[in-house]
């Protein structure tokens, strides 16, 4: 097996947690609009419906904030194991729910699981990945989220054709299968080599790199050298507490704000409003329940198709900013036109009498939106895993992911009420959000594509690696202490570019 194939297999298996993220997020949209579900839970109000959806996001916020307390001392794999166990428990509670309270408890537990996994999976994949395919492997998170959503939508559609409680309970129960597979199989995957070396287990870290890149000795040496150099620098400069991370340094605050901003852009784009409430949106356009669920499944399948196309053709070849700007501008335009169309036809309140062309146009705009969202969806998970050093990568990802889930909760809770009161005018809000995000990306976000994780850190230095000769000599001494029989590196150049970074290797 080639080195890239082994790394890809490891990352693909880890992203079963992302599949659960997508499935659990998508399945609720196929369930809450079914008549049998509404009858089972005594016709929940808009507020109760929002609570069912939002409880999942509340659990995810807690999980994403807790992740660093597990991953920093214990490693990346135990977090995925715990996440799989919690997902199984949450599934059982949801599928066997006899009341709204029990359903919310199951959603909360499942959200806790997904909060843990959605934070740590991009970190784990980025720390295993060689620079050449890091964008591809990092994009697997969004690809598997999309796959999970597609499977959820079609399982929900198929079960909606059945009668009785099976129509809503089986879609909720199905997610136990990938959760159990993940919990059992995660121990066969390697631990992050960067985490191992950061913990002082340099021999294990080097062995893991060798296992992952067996056929590429030059890559093993290069990765090992860069990791040692980066960790030596982090031990001197990286913050070790939350207070230091958030309040003592402008450069760390900037990185936190950029990572949180990128995740905020995804929620403020409106994508989860469409994916979660699409069936009810389609029904407001005069379509039947089964037709609405079928169109939702087609929407998800095409979104996944675009994810695949962008990963294969663009994500490793085109700069981040070049992909993000058209994405944000296009989503804003789509949302603006959708809102204007709804306003022109009185929110389709007389859907049966609305022109068929107007209904088709409203549906088509949701499909156009999914094309524009693809770039942002893929890059949002990549960016937060690229801009932090190993010592604080889990904490940085934790805060960024918590931002995602916090906004997700707000929109999930407010959307049923907002749609009832504002109708299609609600989409004007997301048009404004997307255009504001495009301005922020243009002025505030540096490019990180095409660099190793260690090299990507230096885009924030503003000048080389930001250290004097005396500091670099001290770094060389620290590397000797770290290497324990391996290779010590003394950096002698200030440039962050690999071609300009000259190193002396001292065999100990």
In a domain, residue 346? The reply is: yes
Residue whose C-alpha is closest to residue 59's, from 89, 35, 81, 16:
89
CA angle 435, 264, 106 (to 5 degrees): 135
Residues 6 or more apart whose Cβ sits within 8 Å of residue 491: 229, 465, 467, 472, 475, 476, 501, 503
Q: At what angle do helices 356-386 and 390-422 cross, to 10 degrees?
A: 160
**Coil/strand/helix, residue 487:** strand
| CA atoms of 152 and 146, how far apart (whole Å) | 10
CA atoms within 13 A on the CB side of 449: 19
In a domain, residue 322? The reply is: yes
Residue whose C-alpha is closest to residue 25's, from 303, 265, 285, 286:
303
**Coil/strand/helix, residue 507:** strand
DSSP 103: H
**Coil/strand/helix, residue 504:** strand
266 φ/ψ angles, rounded to the nearest 5 degrees: -65, -45
In a domain, residue 231? The reply is: no
Cβ-based burial of 254 (10 A; exposed 0-12, middle 13-18, buried ≥19): middle
Give the pLDDT of the chain (508 residues) as one tens digit per residue. 456 788 889 999 999 999 998 898 888 877 887 888 888 888 887 778 777 877 888 899 999 999 988 998 899 999 999 999 999 999 999 999 888 889 999 999 999 999 999 899 988 998 888 877 888 888 888 899 989 989 998 898 888 888 788 888 999 999 999 999 999 999 999 999 989 988 889 899 889 988 887 767 777 888 888 888 877 876 776 676 777 777 777 878 888 999 999 999 999 998 877 776 666 667 766 677 677 778 878 888 888 999 999 988 888 788 989 999 999 999 999 999 989 988 888 777 654 566 778 878 888 888 999 999 999 999 998 888 888 877 788 888 889 999 998 998 888 778 878 888 888 889 999 999 999 999 999 999 988 876 766 676 667 665 444 343 344 344 444 444 444 444 334 333 333 333 333 333 333 2
Residue count of the chain = 508
In a domain, residue 233? The reply is: no
Range of the domain at 184: 3-189+238-455
In a domain, residue 485? The reply is: no
Helices (H), 314-449: 320-344, 356-386, 390-422, 426-444
| CA atoms of 44 and 240, how far apart (whole Å) | 46
* This prediction's pTM: 0.76
- Helix-strand-coil percent breakdown of the chain, rounded to 5? 80, 0, 20
CATH number at residue 170: 1.20.1250.20
In a domain, residue 155? The reply is: yes
In a domain, residue 212? The reply is: no
Output the six-digit token pair for 489: 């590196």
Please give the full DSSP string across 195-220, using - where no structure is assigned: HHHHTT-HHHHHHHHHHHTTT-HHHH
In a domain, residue 475? The reply is: no
| CA atoms of 27 and 118, how far apart (whole Å) | 17
- Number of structural domains (the chain) is 1
């Amino acid at each position: 097996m080639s080195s890239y194939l082994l790394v890809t297999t490891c990352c693909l298996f880890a992203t079963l947690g992302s599949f659960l993220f997508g499935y659990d997020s998508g399945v609720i949209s196929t369930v809450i609009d079914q008549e049998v579900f509404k009858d089972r839970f005594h016709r929940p109000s808009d507020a109760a419906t929002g609570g069912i959806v939002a409880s999942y996001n509340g659990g995810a916020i807690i999980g994403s904030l807790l992740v660093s307390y597990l991953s920093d001392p214990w490693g990346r794999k135990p977090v995925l194991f715990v996440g799989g166990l919690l997902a199984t428990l949450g599934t059982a509670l949801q599928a066997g729910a006899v009341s709204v309270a029990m359903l919310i408890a199951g959603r909360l537990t499942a959200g806790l699981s997904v909060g843990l996994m959605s934070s740590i999976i991009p970190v784990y994949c980025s720390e295993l990945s060689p620079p050449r395919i890091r964008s591809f492997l990092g994009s697997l998170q969004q690809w598997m989220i999309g796959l999970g959503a597609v499977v959820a939508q079609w399982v929900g559609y198929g079960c909606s054709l059945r009668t009785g409680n099976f129509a809503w309970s089986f879609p909720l129960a199905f997610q136990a299968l990938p959760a159990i597979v993940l919990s059992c199989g995660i121990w066969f995957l390697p631990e992050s080599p960067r985490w191992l070396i950061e913990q002082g287990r340099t021999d294990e870290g080097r062995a893991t790199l060798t296992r992952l890149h067996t056929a590429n000795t030059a890559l093993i040496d290069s990765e090992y050298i860069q990791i040692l150099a980066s960790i030596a620098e982090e031990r001197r400069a990286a913050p070790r507490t939350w207070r230091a991370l958030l309040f003592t340094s402008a450069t760390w605050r900037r990185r936190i704000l950029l990572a949180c901003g990128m995740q905020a852009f995804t929620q403020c784009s409106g994508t989860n409003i469409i994916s979660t409430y699409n069936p009810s949106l389609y029904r407001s356009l005069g379509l039947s329940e089964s037709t609405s669920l079928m169109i939702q499944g087609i929407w998800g399948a095409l979104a996944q198709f675009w994810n695949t196309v962008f990963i294969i053709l663009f994500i490793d070849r085109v700069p981040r900013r070049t992909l993000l700007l058209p994405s944000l501008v296009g989503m804003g335009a789509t949302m603006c036109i959708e809102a204007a169309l709804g306003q022109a036809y009185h929110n389709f309140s007389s859907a049966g009498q609305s022109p068929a062309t107007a209904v088709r146009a409203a549906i088509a705009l949701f499909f156009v939106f999914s094309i524009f969202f693809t770039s942002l969806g893929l890059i949002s998970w990549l960016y937060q895993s690229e801009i932090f050093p190993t010592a604080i990568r889990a904490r940085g990802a934790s805060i960024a992911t918590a931002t995602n889930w916090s906004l997700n909760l707000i929109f999930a809770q407010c959307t049923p009420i907002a749609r009832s009161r504002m109708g299609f005018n609600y989409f004007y809000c997301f048009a404004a959000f997307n255009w504001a995000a495009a301005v922020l990306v243009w002025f505030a976000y540096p490019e990180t594509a095409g660099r190793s994780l260690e090299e990507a850190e230096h885009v924030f230095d503003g000048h080389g690696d930001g250290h004097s000769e005396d500091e670099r000599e001290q770094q060389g001494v620290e590397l000797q202490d770290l290497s324990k029989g391996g290779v010590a590196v003394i950096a002698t150049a200030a440039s962050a570019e690999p071609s300009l970074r000259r190193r002396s290797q001292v065999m100990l």
